Amino acid sequence: MNELLDQLMVAIKAGKRKDARAATAAALEAGIDPQSVLDALTEGMNDVGKRFRANVIFVPEVLVAARAMQKSMDLLEPVLVASGIEPEFSIVIGTVEGDLHDIGKNLVMMMLKGANFKVIDLGVNVSAETFANAVAEHNPNLVALSALLTTTMPAMERIVSELSSLNSSIKIMVGGAPITQAFADQIGADGYSADAASAVELAQKLCA
């Protein structure tokens, strides 16, 4: 692989935002096609996800990697748009009504961006109605629901039920500290993942 793209990947893996930005700028300036730059970013974040899941790195390391990725994307995105390169899949994501926690949701969001998903972030405390409106507006491939509190798990169930009744083909994935595969099955979600890295694999599987 090109030396500049190598530098970009190393910068993403280590969470070095200045290096990531510099390597991206240099790569684009050198005329490397934007899809290859994007692939290097995705590969870097994929490695971050693998090490996170293997308990080699932790939330702070993922956050700095995602921040470095964002610095690179700031430069790359306009070039991608100009070249007509768009993410293949889109996902609407939010923390369910009554729940204000967002670290987990943000981690999933960043990892999805790193895997080249278009992410529509509805934030925290999101009602079924807001999710339904976002689905109608963006027509995403997937919806992802997060909950940290045991007390907001019923809201998750409600949202899954309402979204499914409005659009039976919409795929919904769920996650968060108290959520389990059994709960996901019980409420009729299409998938559950235990951590942000697995969430990307699950999203890819559900979109395939």
**133 forms part of the interface with another protein (CB under 8 A):** no
**122 forms part of the interface with another protein (CB under 8 A):** no
DSSP state of 92: E
- Shortest distance (Å) from residue 206 CB to another protein: 25
d(CA 112, CA 104): 12
Exactly one of 29, 33, 50, 59 binds another protein (CB under 8 A); that residue is 59
The residue (of 106 and 198) whose beta carbon lies closer to another protein is: 106
The structure tokens listed for 7 are 């530098």
Q: In whole angstroms, how far apart are CA 178 and each of 60, 156, 189?
A: 21, 12, 15
d(CA 187, CA 28): 46
Exactly one of 98, 127, 130, 167 binds another protein (CB under 8 A); that residue is 98
Q: Residues near 103 by Cβ (< 8 Å), separated by ≥ 6? A: 59
Q: Which residue has the tokens 């278009």?
A: 118
Residue ranges in 151-190 that form contacts with another protein under rule CB under 8 A: 151, 177-178, 180
Residues in touch with another protein (CB under 8 A) = 15, 55, 57-61, 63-64, 67, 98, 100-101, 103, 106, 149-151, 177-178, 180
